[in-house]
Amino acid sequence: MKRKLNLLYLILVYVFLYAPIVVLIVFSFNASKSRTAWGGFTLDWYVKLFHNSEILDALKTTLIIACSSALISTAFAVLSCIGIYALPGRQRRLVMSITNIPNITPDLVTGIALMLLFFFINMPFGFVTLLLAHTAFNVPYAILSIMPKLRQMDIHLYEAAQDLGCTPGQAIRKVIIPEIKPGILTALILTFTLSIDDFVISYFTAGNEVTTLALTIYSMARKSVNPQINALSTLLFVSVLILLVIVNLRTSRQFSRRRKTATPGALV
Amino acid sequence: MNKSLRRLSFPYLLWILIFTVVPLLLVAFFALTAYDSNGSLYFTLDGFKNVFGGDTVAFSFLGLSVQLPLYINVFIRSLLIAMVCTLLCLLLGYPAAWIMAKMEIEHRRGSNILLFLLVMPMWMNALLRTYAWLALLEPKGIVNNFLGLFGLGPVQFLYNDFGIGLGMVYNYLPFMVLPIYSVLVKISPSLLEAAADLGADPRRVMLKVVLPMSRPGILSGINMVLMPAMTTFLIPDLLGGGRYLLIGNAIERQYMVSRDYTTGSALSIVLLIFVLLSMQIVARNTDPDADEGGLVA
């Protein structure tokens, strides 16, 4: 009885979390443009979506910004982490606490602060400011994902590699990078997600020339959202779902191969 | 470790100077300056005067009514709404985290997929998910249509405290459940058995063992919910119908609508100081080694 109550409670929580998503997906197949009344099944919105250059452009910008800021910030973070790790204790702690600042400042303030920076140095708002802003807020998260892995590894391995004839560059590539690879992967996924999902910082740093998907949705949401956006979100949601399921199946298979129980923390 | 590797940190030092330290100093700088008619900057305290002075508005809470400056009023209201939403997230999220953790502890399975389902919605644009609540909660929306079948309603869900609170709880609930779950799942079952063997009934086990042990999770959950809830401007914008002013939209409007960078920056500085102080309080209550690098679940 008690277990059934527990299960019922969980189901209610999940209904609450998924209700709007189900509504979005269902109404992407709605023949009428209303967001509440069902007017029959259609795939029109999906067809129109692929001819809507405004939405497709926004999607393209979003993906380009997300991929490049994820790659740049992660690559930069890998080198920075190694450098920070080599700093003497007190300086390292100082750098790490400054790294933590964007993490504890509200997004709103970060967005405004970056906007004021670009405004102050007279940089025209557009793709470049957007990319810089995304990279700026991603770098600390990438560092915070990679640093723990670097701390876990035995750093004498790096020296041993050099004793055995590696150049410092080789030692980093062949010893340190493989050791911190899980951290690098986490950083890539995390920064990519943060960038795709970001609205607040893009809102303040994009200007009028470029728009991301989130900005397009925001400007639509104040009037009425085009069901094509529902269709696009459904497609994105389903592709992420498939991707995550594949990743999770693979990791859990790996885990069982090592006869370990899968740790749920593996899911970013 | 090799000293030559230190050079690798130099670009980063420059980077945080440009993108972390300078921007924040610029906010403080703009809070204390304004442009005169010739377009040159001059020092002014007007921004802070606007924040702490200006027109007063009646603030009523629990039957009490005080006259407060407009922005202080908005500030306190945002804090109260954020606190109520954090409390609701905790009350709703804790049992969910506990049930999931118990499944993991007792059966070693099942909770993986639940956790997956908890994170999954975050992959859909938050704006859009919040927007979808409009379709559900409208006077002629899905929920009211459903209530109508029983002869109830229509209930006004939107454009009031309820709508905003619901939007916040909906958006931030996973951020409360995840840290609590990750602490609860580490509690050894033998501790619970020992407590039961020593005569504690399930309620006492919960109050005296589980709850105190999950304190770091609760605190980090509060941290992850309270600040975003207090500073959001999307949720009041969408679910408040643009009529609802919280500190987030107050600041956003200063920059994007009134173009008053001085007052906007002064508000941001006050908000930032407030947030940092409250984080400090939470941090002091957290066990320092409890969650090292607990950024990613």
Lowest-confidence pick of A186-190, B2-6, B82-86, B185-189: B2-6
A115 contacts B2? CB cut-off 8 A: no
Q: Which residue of A has its CA nearest to B141?
A: A36
Q: Which residue of A has its CA nearest to B23?
A: A113
pLDDT tens digits for B3-42?
A: 778 888 899 999 999 999 999 999 999 999 888 888 788 8
Residues of chain A with Cβ-Cβ distance to B108 below 8 Å are 261
A117 contacts B22? CB cut-off 8 A: yes
- What's the predicted TM-score (pTM) here? 0.85
A207: in domain: yes
pLDDT tens digits for B50-73?
A: 888 877 777 766 667 777 788 888
What pLDDT score was predicted for residue B88?
96
pLDDT: is A209 or B90 the higher one? B90
| Count of Cβ atoms closer than 10 Å to residue A220 Cβ | 18
- CB proximity list for B230: less than 8 A, separation 6 or greater: A106, B78, B79, B82, B246, B247, B248, B275
A152: in domain: yes
Structure tokens at B74: 């908005």
Please give, rounded to a whole number of angstroms, the shortest distance from the CA of A209 to a CA of chain B: 16
| Count of Cβ atoms closer than 10 Å to residue B60 Cβ | 8
Query: Is some CB atom of chain B closer than 8 A to the CB atom of A85?
Result: yes
pLDDT: is B111 or B175 the higher one? B175
Q: Which residue of A has its CA nearest to B116?
A: A267
Q: Where are the domains of chain B?
A: 69-284
Confidence class for position A74, pLDDT limits 50, 70, 90: very high
- CB proximity list for B12: less than 8 A, separation 6 or greater: A76, A79, A80, A83, A84, A95, A139
- List the beta strands (DSSP E) in chain B: 33-35, 41-43, 56-61, 64-69
> Given the structure tokens 């259609």, which residue do they identify?
A42
Confidence class for position B296, pLDDT limits 50, 70, 90: very low
Residue type, A192: F
Angle between helices A227-257 and A213-221 (to 10 degrees): 140
What pLDDT score was predicted for residue B286?
59
CB-nearest partner of B99 from A6, A108, A199: A6
CB-nearest partner of A217 from B15, B22, B127: B127
What is the rounded distance in angstroms from the CA atom of residue B254 to the CA atom of residue B267?
9
In CATH terms, the fold of domain B69-284 is MetI-like fold (1.10.3720)
Please give, rounded to a whole number of angstroms, the shortest distance from the CA of B257 to a CA of chain A: 12
DSSP, collapsed to helix, strand or coil, labels residue A85 as helix
Q: Which residue of B has its CA nearest to A114?
A: B23
A222 contacts B242? CB cut-off 8 A: yes
How many C-alpha atoms does B85 have within 13 Å on its Cβ side? 32
Is residue B255 a contact partner of residue B261, using CB atoms and an 8 Å limit?
yes
A211: in domain: yes
What pLDDT score was predicted for residue B62?
67
Q: What count of residues does chain B have?
A: 297
Query: Is some CB atom of chain B closer than 8 A to the CB atom of A170?
Result: no
pLDDT of A258 above 70: no
pLDDT: is B157 or B257 the higher one? B257
Mean pLDDT within B80-88: 93
What pLDDT score was predicted for residue B292?
42
| Residue A126 belongs to domain with CATH number | 1.10.3720.10
Kindly state the percentage of chain B with pLDDT values over 70.
91
Residues of chain B with Cβ-Cβ distance to A193 below 8 Å are 122-123
Mean pLDDT within A3-22: 91
Mean pLDDT within B234-238: 85
What is the rounded distance in angstroms from the CA atom of residue A247 to the CA atom of residue A267?
9
Mean pLDDT within A160-177: 88
- End-to-end CA gap in chain A: 34
pLDDT tens digits for A99-156?
A: 988 888 889 999 999 999 999 999 999 999 999 999 999 999 999 999 988 888 887 8
pLDDT tens digits for B178-204?
A: 999 989 988 888 888 888 889 888 888
Closest to B264 (Cα-Cα) out of B25, B28, B21, B22: B28
A82: in domain: yes
A59: in domain: yes
DSSP, collapsed to helix, strand or coil, labels residue A34 as coil
A168 contacts B2? CB cut-off 8 A: yes
Confidence class for position A256, pLDDT limits 50, 70, 90: low
Q: Domain containing A174: what range?
A: 49-226
CB-nearest partner of A265 from B9, B21, B182: B182
Residue type, B120: M
Chain Cα centroid distance, residue B2: 42
Kindly state the percentage of chain A with pLDDT values over 90.
38
Looking at every residue in chain A, the average pLDDT score rounds to: 86
Please give, rounded to a whole number of angstroms, the shortest distance from the CA of B49 to a CA of chain A: 20
A218: in domain: yes
What's the structural domain count of chain A? 1
CB-nearest partner of B9 from A10, A24, A83: A83
Q: Which residue of A has its CA nearest to B123?
A: A237
